[in-house]
Structure formats: structure tokens, C-alpha cells
Structure 1
């Protein structure tokens, strides 16, 4: 199960999640359940898609008001698996995780930080896009949700360079207090995000890029300055712990 195969599986989950019009928290919880399940239960390579769909099913039960039926999930898998196999996998996941399904995801922290920093809707949407790109990167599985949210919001702020006011600068400085002492970690995540965003349109795993290229998402993934994100990050001079 290589990093490329993991990224392809996560990209597939993002496609399904978007098609089902689920909440953002459901996606992040799905990936968290998938990550932990892979380390706790034995799954053959042929059953990875089954595992992924069941992780989404479990997350939806916790986060969504409308749950897909087992039959519809089997159809999603081209009926390659029976209802019994799907429900058995669900049982294995829940027992393996001991029903520990809580997660405070990056979008939840983005909501708090964005409100405190008085971010524009475009900044928030781009930050959500950047956060989602990180789901494809196995090296960031250990990153804290608050750090991911802070890094994504900072990078979105740098890329967009929207007009500022004294009040907004004060608000951004206030938001930086939430990350006190975590600046080195956040800068590392920002670098990963910048590189991922610059190459997102070239990757085979492009579900997030396509989703955030739509007008309803303000086409943030197609913003011209994202291709320059790594150089923008360097020229910004991130030596200060506050937002650039």
C-alpha cells in the first residue's frame, strides 16, 4: 500500500463524498477512520475500496442527517461485495476502533480562526481547499487539525493578498495567539501546502482541484497565484509568528 495508492484511494473518497453532498466534517472523519483502521485491522489489497466506503458510511452515521442505505453503497461498489460483507467490515472497524469516532477537524478550526481574523469568504474557501489537499499527503497524517487550519489560512492570506485595514491587521494578530509556540510546525505545513497547491492541476489525484474550480467555490483552485505559492511563501518572510 504505497503513498501513491493511498493518495488515489483518498482522492476516490473525496469524489464520492462530493457526489453525495456530505458535510466537510464527514470527509475528515472518514479519512481519520480509514487511517486508524489500516493500522488496527487486517485488510487485503482487494478490499481497500470496501474499507474506504464503509469508513465513509460510519462517518456519515455520526455527522449526517441522511444516511445512504447499505444497498446504495453496494451499488456504488458495482455490487462487487454483498450487504453481509459490508456490514461485517463495519463491525470490524467499530470494534477495532472501540467506537472512538470523535474528531475536531480543520474546517471546525477554520471557522473559529476565520471569524476571529475577519477573513473574507474567498480566504476561507481557499483555506478549505488547501486543507483538503493535505488529506492526500501521508506525511501529514500526524499533523494537528489546528496547525493545518492555521497553515491553510495563512497561505490563503498570502496568495490572495486582499486589501487590508488596521482593524483587519489587528484581527489577524489576535488570531495568531491561537498558534502561540507552534509557528515552526505551521511553517512546515505551509511549505507542504504550497508545493501541493502549485502542482494540484497536474496530478492524477485531482478531485479536490476539480471540486474547488467550480463557480460555487469561487474557482479558488484555479487562482493564478497558487502556481507561485512556494515562491510567494519564501518572499513573504515567515520569520514572524503572526500571520503574514
Structure 2
């Protein structure tokens, strides 16, 4: 297929972090500068963490919520000219297959795709090395999320010999250098678990939302969505399909206007079915072990909807 050697380019400028105490900030005499207001902590957050098996973290519920739900999206920067959304989707679809074959954690896949998008937006990439970039991002994500790492040799075999172990390790070094070792990213899967626990969503609703969320990985535009908003859109769409058009998420952390641009994208991906180069998630969720979720979702989405899609 493809893989990552990038042409040498200057590092992108880092995003300035607002600091109310830096030189030049106006602070009234006798007053301390106040930090910007944090996110509004929804009721029931501590109980939701307990439902996720995080009862020991109840004391830090507000901090966890702020870290997970208020994570920023990638800048809305275009892909490199040589990489089309279809080519990106082809690599992500292959990563989904590799991820499932190796039995990796769900967060590993989301982090790998986030690293891929971060690298693509940081500079030019040789098209013939796009597959190598994808598997190198998965390798880095494994080091962040997994207890047992896949061997380099196994990853090279899965690439059908299109790259060597030495090339994979060089690609890993390029990723770490280009991203300045900024690898931590609370992904949308974690946000979805937290939102589903807050809303008291049923296991079936959560499964549908997980399917819609994974489908969004194939869409290049989804990289510009905040993880919390993407998870909320997937959960909202699942609730409306299974509970009726009038149902909504409680607590409503996002307005309908904030979710409206995201849900149709997920619905279109679900209706697309096992299209060439985008079939891995649909086929995975069509299995009996996952209750034929992709087939049921397509059937429900084709049903006449009284509300907006």
C-alpha cells in the first residue's frame, strides 16, 4: 500500500498558551489575577465515574472532566496536497483492520489516528510512505496505551513487506520529533464512556454510539471536531435512533446547534455501508458478537425520520 517519510520542513509554530500573569497583563493593585473560568461540572459526575470503575477518583471528578471533555481539536488545516481524504480513509481503514487483528485497546486506535492527523497537518508527506506513517503512529500509540507491545517484525509482516524494521523505527523518530513528543490526547472514546454514564444510556445505545464514533475516524473533517463534541454527537444520534426523535442527552452539555453539523456526517458514513476502502468498521460491527449493529443502524437510518437527520 503506502507509508511515512516526510520531506524536511520547518517545525510549525507552537500555539501560544494564554497566560494571565505574563508580563504586560493588567492586574489591579492589591488583587491577584484570576484564572479563566473552568468548565461547568455537570451533576452526577462523581457517580458517573463510579459507574466507569473510577470510584477512587471521585475527589478529582471536576479535574478529570476538565481534562477529558474540554480537550481542543486539531486546527482546521487542510491535508497535504498529495494526500486526499480518500487516501487518508484507506490508511485509517487498514489501521482499523490491523488494530482488530492484534486485539488492541480501543483508545489505541483513536490515539493512532490522532497522531496520524497531527503529523499530516504538520507538513508534507510522501504519498508512497503513507502506510508506513500509519503503522508507525499505531506503534507509538501502543507504547502509550498498551501493556504488551506488538513486535516490530509483526507490524512489518502486516505491511506485506512494504517497509523494514529499520524504516519503521526511523518513522517513529520522525513522528516524535515532528510532534515534539506531544502524544497525550484524551480521545473521544473516553468522552463517550463518560457521557454515556452521565446520561444513563443503555448498553445498546452505547454500542450504537461507539459504532458511529468509530465510523467518524474515516472522515477527514472529523479531525477538526473536539473529542467531547464528537462523542456527544455519536451518543445523541444513537439515542434518537433507538429512543425516538424527541429524546435528548441529559445533562445537555452541547446545544443542538453544536451537534447539528456532526450527526449527518456520521449518518452518511453509516448509510454508505461496506464501501471499498471504508468497509472495516461496517463489517466488524455487522458480526453477531456486536449484535449486527451496523446493519441495524443502516436500517433505522433509512426509516423516515420526523426530525432532522
TM over 0.5: yes
Q: Is 1:10 matched up with 2:92?
A: yes
Q: Is 1:214 matched up with 2:296?
A: no
For structure 2, which runs of at least 5 residues remain unmatched after alignment? 1-82
Provide the C-alpha distance between the structure 1 equivalents of 2:284 and 2:228, rounded to a whole number of angstroms: 23
Provide the C-alpha distance between the structure 1 equivalents of 2:145 and 2:185, rounded to a whole number of angstroms: 11
How far 1:231 moved relative to its partner? 6.5
Matches within 5 A, 1:83-162: 83-161=165-243
Residues 93, 237 of structure 1: alpha-carbon distance in 2 compared, 3 angstrom cutoff? closer
Higher share in helix: 1
How far 1:130 moved relative to its partner? 0.1
Residues 74, 111 of structure 1: alpha-carbon distance in 2 compared, 3 angstrom cutoff? same
**Conserved? CA contact 2:233–2:262, under 8 Å:** yes
Moved over 3 A (4+): 201-204
Q: Is 1:190 matched up with 2:263?
A: yes
How far 1:46 moved relative to its partner? 1.3
Aligned to 1:242: none
Q: Is 1:229 matched up with 2:305?
A: no
**Conserved? CA contact 2:215–2:266, under 8 Å:** yes
For structure 1, which runs of at least 5 residues remain unmatched after alignment? 163-168, 239-244
Q: Is 1:174 matched up with 2:245?
A: no
Q: Secondary structure at the match of 2:261?
A: helix
Q: Is 1:205 matched up with 2:253?
A: no
**Conserved? CA contact 1:54–1:89, under 8 Å:** yes
Provide the C-alpha distance between the structure 1 equivalents of 2:165 and 2:124, rounded to a whole number of angstroms: 19
**Conserved? CA contact 2:89–2:277, under 8 Å:** no
Provide the C-alpha distance between the structure 1 equivalents of 2:210 and 2:264, rounded to a whole number of angstroms: 16
Q: 1:70-106, CA deviations, whole angstroms, 9 ceiling, x for partnerless residues?
A: 1111112223322211111100100110110111111
Provide the C-alpha distance between the structure 2 equivalents of 1:75 and 1:138, rounded to a whole number of angstroms: 27
Provide the C-alpha distance between the structure 1 equivalents of 2:194 and 2:265, rounded to a whole number of angstroms: 23
Provide the C-alpha distance between the structure 1 equivalents of 2:157 and 2:181, rounded to a whole number of angstroms: 26
Q: Secondary structure at the match of 1:188?
A: coil
Residues 173, 228 of structure 1: alpha-carbon distance in 2 compared, 3 angstrom cutoff? closer
Q: Which has the larger radius of gyration?
A: 2
Residues 2, 65 of structure 1: alpha-carbon distance in 2 compared, 3 angstrom cutoff? same
**Conserved? CA contact 1:199–1:227, under 8 Å:** no
Aligned to 2:136: 54
